[in-house]
Every structure is written in C-alpha cells, then in structure tokens.
Amino acid sequence: MTGFLALGHWHRGWYDTRATAGEFVRPDAKFRKRPAPGALRAEPGRYHLYVSLACPWAHRTLIMRTLKGLEDALPVSIVEPVMDEEGWAFSAALPDRANGFAHLHQAYTAARPEYSGRVSVPVLWDARAGTIVNNESADIVRILDEDGEYYPAALRSRIDAMNAYVYENINNGVYRCGFASDQQAYERAFDRLFNALDHLEAVLSRSRFLVGDRATEADWRLFTTLVRFDAVYHVHFKCNRNRLADFANLHAYALDLYRHPGVAATVDMDHIKRHYYMSHPHLNPSRIVPRGPALDFTGRQQ
C-alpha cells in the first residue's frame, strides 16, 4: 500500500502518472540539511537512521554506515517490509527505537506538521532537535562518508557523471518500467534500462569497478539495484530482457561487492521480496511472493 501526506494528513493513493503520459516521475526529497561536521561520531546516538531493508535507496545508506563503522554512533530503526494502509509501519518486532511512532509518516509530521508529499526512506533524524535532517539517500551517503573515502576529490567529476547515468537509466529506470501506466512509456524505460546495462557490461569488461581501481559510492549506488534485479525487477517490474545472471561482468561485479566485509549482512532478500510483491497490489493483486529464483550471492547462482 502507498499514500501521501497532504497538509499533515495521511491519504491513500498511488502515483498519478496522467500528467506525465504514463511515465513514473520520482518526487524530489524535501529535507536536505546536514549535521555539523563530525557530529555523528562526536554525539553518538543523537542521530538516528530510519530505513527499510527492502528499499534500494535506504540500502545504500546502510551499506555506507557499515563501511564507515558507524553502527554504534548511528542507531537504526527498520520498518516492516509490507506497507499497511498508512504506508511504512513499525511493529512490536520492528519498533521505532527513536520515537515510538507506529508509522513513519508521524516522523514527517513531527518535523513539519503541515508536510505535504510522499513519505520515503531513508530518513536521518535528529533526536535532540526532534526533527528530520535529511531524507535524500544520496545526501545521507555523503554525510556518513564525511571524509570522502568513497567520493575522492580526484574522481568526483567522474563519479558524479556515473551516478547521474546510473540513476536515470538503472536505479530509477527499473521503477520507470514497473510503475509505467502506458505501453510506450514502459517500452522507452525498458530500452533505456537495458541499453545502460549493456553499456556497463562493456565498462566492466575493462575495469573491476565503475570509476577508478577501487569501489566508490558509484558502485554501491548501482549494487543495491543489481542485488534486487533477478528476484524482483525481472518479474515484478517487467524488466525481463535478461537476468543479472545473464550479464557475465555485471554478475561477477555484483558478487564481488556482495563479498565486501559487512555488506552481506545488509541484504535481506525476505524483506525485499515480501515488500515488492505484497505492497503493490495493483501490480500483483494476489500478493503471492515467488519462491524463486535460486540466488546465492556468495558465488553460485542458478
């Protein structure tokens, strides 16, 4: 289920694609502030990260939190994978450890009582100020990578260009396929997606990583889409020209990133599959979750 806030009140409703000729357009994040330099480590526990283990945008922030060793400094609350009638929800098993809210939209209205817009993850919350600092995953990744280890100055222009290409054609491209409400819009998104995957397959035939000789934020931003591709996007979003497993270089690259210390623990395929197949009833009215495919990111895949 999905919905939105209008002047602080929750409404159920899907994305309206009538004005965009059936094409899905992702709304911009509305909280874009940053903590003071060094604040996350200087004040452990002040900031809190709200995430879904199913969401690729939230996943990239969890990966960066792990890579930077911020687990103790930055506690996390995880929403239930299946949205209810009020969107992202907490439960007794998965409670809101910062505020005790029942639904994530309460954090949005606590920060801005007359907030209007979608309620998305991730959210970086300031517990001392009682407000949302940032809900843009790209910003939060760089907030966590404060010293720029994964965004080195010498590579920034190349990383920015790669990020833009991957976002437009792949990260958001799978959603443009899956959420399209017009055949031509879907086919345009489909062609862009697989043209981009073909291009990166060629890039990775010459290089282990997308930019430079080590993993950068560009690789982690792509990884969270790739790890979901065969289990979800191939079927549920009709991205079915090829599986990830059919791309020799992209597949090997995804396995390489998965084996990076700490990354495997951030991948929860149960949450991923249950969220997508059970939270989009207009795409999957039965809400049946496929048992397959057989995936093993440690190195074997069928």
Catalytic residue annotation: 55, 175
Rounded distance between C-alpha atoms, residue 223 and residue 217, angstroms = 10
Rounded distance between C-alpha atoms, residue 263 and residue 266, angstroms = 5
Rounded distance between C-alpha atoms, residue 289 and residue 283, angstroms = 12
At residue 205, φ and ψ (nearest 5 deg) are -75, -20
Are 155 and 219 in contact by the 8 Å Cβ rule? The answer is no
* Secondary structure class of 105 (helix, strand, coil): helix
CB-CB neighbours of 262 under 10 Å: 13
Give the bridge partners for 126, in sequence order. 47, 131
Rounded distance between C-alpha atoms, residue 36 and residue 136, angstroms = 17
Q: What tokens were used for 129?
A: 């100020």
Edge-to-edge strands, sheet with 47-51 = 76-78, 47-51, 123-126, 131-134
Inter-axis angle of helices 156-166 and 183-203, nearest 10: 140
Q: What tokens were used for 54?
A: 């199913």
Q: What tokens were used for 135?
A: 């809900």
Rounded distance between C-alpha atoms, residue 270 and residue 257, angstroms = 20
The amino acid at 260: H
